[in-house]
Amino acid sequence: MPIDATFPPALVMLAGALLLPLLPRNYRSYFSLFIPLIALVLVWLAPSGVNLTLELMDYKLVVYKVDRLSRIFGTIFALITLIGALFAFHVKEAAKQTATLLYAAGALGVTFAGDLITLFVFWELMSLPSTYLIWARGVRESEKAGMRYLMFHVFGGGLLFAGILLHAGETGGILIEQLTDRNALSSWLILAGVAVNAAVVPLHAWIADAYPKATVTGAVFLSALTTKTAVYVLLRMFPGWEILIFLGVLMALYGVVFAVLANDIREILAYHIISQVGYMVAGAGIGTELAVNGATAHAFSHILYKALLFMGAGAVLHTTGKSKLTELGGLAKKQPLILWLYMIGAFSISGFPLFNGFISKSMVVAAAGEANYPFAMLLMLLASVGTFLSVGIKLPYFTWYGENRGLIPLPPPRNMYLGMAAASFFCLLHGIMPGLLYDMLPYTVHFAPYTFSHVVETSQILIFTFAAFWIFRKRLAGEAGITLDVDWFYRRPARWVQRVFVEDLETAFNKVETLSMDIVGKLSLLSKNPTLIFTKSGGKYFSPDTYRPAIQTLILLVLFSFVLISFWGLLSHLLAVTK
């Protein structure tokens, strides 16, 4: 039966997610492999320029549009879903498997969307299944982190939708295109909504909070899909917006600093998502062909090596039940294969020659220099020092070579090794044969990564970083606790907000309810015997002292309502003046 190459791969993922719960338990894992494989084939077979459209009221929806940029992102999203499903092959819970396919369907839907409405629908589709992959861990910390994660993404989705509505009103169109009007409020709202999903500082705290608390397998998909989908939208709609250069460089540095401070192995990796995505955001801001190529190539490479790193860290958590550097150590002889597969990812993210990070990160740095942003180029080189320090040295040293704490890890499922090996293969393949990746990029590539000067420069950075670590290694393990980031601003006052706006309000409403029931009861009693109010015994029922506390509560409630109404009126007035 021939395959219809114009069939949207996102709908294949969506159909698979709906069918999977109906299958027998023993077949679901195979089905989880089969669906992304079919999606990958469709991505590759789809002819460039294909457009599938639908009519919605007065608008034309382009639900499937293929070009070189969407094809390469669609390729890596389908590929990593396939590799992640192999790593998670031992998972039999239908809910987790379904959530994974729905999550991937959302990412592919955004990638091939040709209009803003379709993009928004698939954008929001990603939120719930990704949140479930955090909640599915089943611990109290995961419940809280998942709720914060969901609140951030609802907030970001609201900004995005508001921007889309304003854009449609201003231009009369909803097709996805480069936004060039930097004075339009709609453009800035769309950018802000995308920035939340890209974990742009200071809208980033959700990622370091939630990803370490997700399920072992769920974190692999989380590391690959949400932020890189946002990078795709930035490259599609905001190339050349110079503010993204500043934000990207800030992310690159900010992430490595907090990664050095972190103690949880998956929190270290989460902070490095912020850092590595910073290179891609900066590439989008530079906006030249070389920069867009570099950001795209780095997104492709990052998805592979970051998934591999989360697989390695997840395998440690799965087999030992521990994830803190201060609780791990002495595992090198017990988990040699996990260690070496992890190190392939570590060498890749650190930019070692012959690994895929070397051929992609250097393209973004070179684009900054070529476009006359030398300061950004130097700061991104500086960030690469922190990357190797924390992910390439600190994490594996204290996890596998640190103090032996007597841990006896359980043997991991074999499919975990297979998933890590598959990701490792592509990290090495593209590092050794960069042309395979370069040939897929949006523009014709004129960049040679393996020059003598570049290899020597990179080697010097890596050698001096290792020497610095060895000198200060005893001070770099981190502390057994949590690192408060900008989330300090909402974690610290959280208890006060809960008491004032939840507990105190609930108490006030309970008192009003009690007063109302009391009044009704006494009026009922009075209606039965009106003369009771004039009797001595009636005083205990109708004394003014009986109602004084309730009346005071009612007055306070009225005053509080008046303050809220006044505040809302003032806010509405300010918004009207702004318009």
Q: Which three-class secondary structure string do you get for 230-283?
A: HHHHHHHHCCCCCHHHHHHHHHHHHHHHHHHHCCEHHHHHHHHHHHHHHHHHHH
| Chain segment 151-160, per-residue pLDDT in tens | 999 999 999 9
Q: Give the pair of three-digit tokens for residue 186.
A: 């709609």
pLDDT at 393: 86
How sure is the predictor about 535, in pLDDT bands with cuts at 50, 70 and 90? low
Domain boundaries, the chain: 1-220, 239-482, 491-578
Torsion, Cα of 191, 194, 200, 205 (10° steps): 130
pLDDT at 416: 95
pTM for this predicted structure? 0.83
The overall average pLDDT reported for the chain is 85
CA 232 to chain centre: 14
Long-range contacts of 205-208 (CB under 8 A, 24+ apart): 205/485, 205/486, 205/487, 206/148, 206/149, 206/152, 206/153, 207/270, 207/273, 207/274, 208/258, 208/262, 208/267, 208/270, 208/271, 208/274, 208/483, 208/485
Q: With 50 as the cut, is the pLDDT of residue 1 above it? A: no
pLDDT at 579: 47
Top pLDDT among 510 and 265 is at 265
Q: With 70 as the cut, is the pLDDT of residue 524 above it? A: no
- Lowest mean pLDDT: which of 5-14, 278-287, 323-332, 486-495? 486-495
DSSP, res 211: G
DSSP, res 393: I
* Beta carbons within 10 angstroms of residue 495's beta carbon: 10
| Chain segment 493-507, per-residue pLDDT in tens | 666 656 655 566 677
Question: Rounded CA gap, 103 and 349, in Å?
Answer: 25
Mean pLDDT, residues 338-344 = 94
What per-residue string of b and e applies to 367-384 under the rule 16 or more CB within 10 Å gives b? bbeebebeebbebbbebb
| Chain segment 173-214, per-residue pLDDT in tens | 889 999 988 889 999 999 999 999 999 988 888 898 899 999
| Chain segment 121-137, per-residue pLDDT in tens | 999 999 999 999 999 99
3 state DSSP class of 87: helix
pLDDT at 308: 96
Question: Rounded CA gap, 390 and 469, in Å?
Answer: 9
The H-or-E segment that residue 53 falls in is strand 51-56
Q: With 90 as the cut, is the pLDDT of residue 166 above it? A: yes
Top pLDDT among 526 and 175 is at 175
Mean pLDDT, residues 430-441 = 94
Question: Rounded CA gap, 308 and 223, in Å?
Answer: 10
pLDDT at 83: 96
Q: With 80 as the cut, is the pLDDT of residue 478 above it? A: no
Question: Rounded CA gap, 399 and 268, in Å?
Answer: 12
How sure is the predictor about 172, in pLDDT bands with cuts at 50, 70 and 90? confident
